[in-house]
Structure formats: C-alpha cells, structure tokens
C-alpha cells in the first residue's frame, strides 16, 4: 500500500495511477480526508447501472419502451 499526500499525487499522477491500475493500493491523504484510488472497470455496479439506464433512455426515445412519469417510477420502488 502506498500512502501519498495530495501534493505528491499531483506531482506524480501517472506513477500512482499506473500503480492503482496494476492492483496496488494507493491512498491519497489531504486536508479533506483520505481517499483510496482505484480504477473503474466495466464490472463496477455503478458503471453497469449507468450503461443500462442510458440504454433504456435510447429505447424510450426510439419508442420501443414505455416512458414513465416520476410518480410512476417512484411507485415501482
């Protein structure tokens, strides 16, 4: 695990991003808190949910999927 300051991270971003991409843990410390640097992959839940949502919007625009009002969407929850 590498622990780096915000200043050090700014000076050597490529080095630390490459380390994170290669599976090494990189922790950034700053006056705002501590943050773990991790690459985003297609397997990430958030990424897949965003892609699915964009696909649904495309289908709605094409008329292949029924559009929802906000009330209908909330009632499904």
Q: What is the pLDDT of residue 68?
A: 81
Place of tokens 């297609």: 42
Residue 39: the pLDDT is 87
Residue ranges of the domains in the chain?
2-37, 45-76
Per-position b or e across 29-49, b if 16+ CB within 10 A of its CB: eeeeeeeebeeeeeeeeeeee
- C-alpha dihedral (37, 48, 42, 55), degrees to nearest 10: -130
| Confidence (pLDDT) at 64 | 93
**Is residue 21 very low, low, confident or very high in pLDDT (cuts 50, 70, 90)?**
very high
Residue 42 has a pLDDT of 67
> Which pTM value belongs to this model?
0.54
pLDDT band at 3 (very low <50, low <70, confident <90, very high): very high
Give the mean pLDDT of the chain: 89
Euclidean distance between the first and the last CA atom of the chain, given in angstroms as a whole number: 40
């Amino acid at each position: 695990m590498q622990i780096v300051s915000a200043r050090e991270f700014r000076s050597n971003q490529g080095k630390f991003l490459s380390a994170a991409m290669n599976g090494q843990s990189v922790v950034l410390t700053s006056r705002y808190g501590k943050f773990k640097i991790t690459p985003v992959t297609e397997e990430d839940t958030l990424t897949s949910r965003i892609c699915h949502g964009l696909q649904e919007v495309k289908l709605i625009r094409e008329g292949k999927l029924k559009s929802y009002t906000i009330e209908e969407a909330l009632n499904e929850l």
